[in-house]
Amino acid sequence: AQSVTQLDSQVPVFEEAPVELRCNYSSSVSVYLFWYVQYPNQGLQLLLKYLSGSTLVKGINGFEAEFNKSQTSFHLRKPSVHISDTAEYFCAVINTGGFKTIFGAGTRLFVKA
Amino acid sequence: DAEITQSPRHKITETGRQVTLACHQTWNHNNMFWYRQDLGHGLRLIHYSYGVQDTNKGEVSDGYSVSRSNTEDLPLTLESAASSQTSVYFCASSESGESSYNEQFFGPGTRLTVL
């Protein structure tokens, strides 16, 4: 069975500071990995995804994530955050060939002025 | 533009009543999903469908049912609403085929309160 652990439930950070949101997963088979963002009172939308190839994946809004197979991690980073990045971020995993996505519990990013 | 809509956006009901939440997508996706979102739990899968007349139970399906009579719609029914079903419900869809790498497109959510 697969699982996803987001290590921080809340991350407060000042505007223009860098941020890292941590995600670890467990799976006995190969997986695809995703980060979704949920702005207040909205549904989720895809930030980025890792399928194969380069372990550094770039997404929208200046976010990037690095897949580390040995550490089974897929941490999300941004070098300089904006107030508008305040949202909840979900890490998700799906095994290759599967259809059901497993979501982490979410990390609430709060960017302060 | 293609989209996925949910209605109602907010619903208050009483314990024991039957409630149906609507989900409509114009992406022409075969795969559709229903999740509930609760604090500390992230999104949990309730039911999903891979196409017309296909429905499957997710991890928290007790007390819920779905039906898929066409590609566009996957209504979620709470047969007898319970306070434990107070939550925010999200519908999502994705492409079929080699779709495990395809992103899911989410609706705006329905906030359901059961009193």
Q: Is the pLDDT of residue B103 over 90?
A: no
Q: Which of A23, A27, A42, A44 to mutate: most B Cβ within 10 Å? A: A44
User: Percent of chain A scored above 90 by pLDDT?
Assistant: 74
* Count, residues in chain B: 115
Task: With a cut of 70, list the residues of chain A below it in pLDDT.
Answer: 97-99
Q: Which of residues 21-80 of A touch B (CB under 8 A)?
A: 32, 34, 41-46, 49, 51
pLDDT digits (tens, 9 = 90+) for B31-76: 999 999 998 788 999 999 989 999 999 989 999 999 999 999 999 9
Cβ separation of A43 and B109 shorter than 8 Å?
yes
Question: Does the N-terminal peptide bond of residue B8 adopt cis geometry, omega within 30 degrees of 0?
Answer: yes
Residue B44 pairs in a beta bridge with B36
Q: For B95, which residue in chain A has the nearest alpha carbon?
A: A99
CA pair distance B104, A81, nearest whole angstrom: 25
pLDDT value at B99 more than 60: no
pLDDT for B6 equals: 97
Q: Centre a 10 Å sphere on the Cβ of residue B51 and count the other Cβ atoms it contains.
A: 13
3-state SS class at A83: helix
Calpha distance A11→A13 (Å, rounded): 6
The answer to whether residue B98 scores a pLDDT higher than 60 is: no
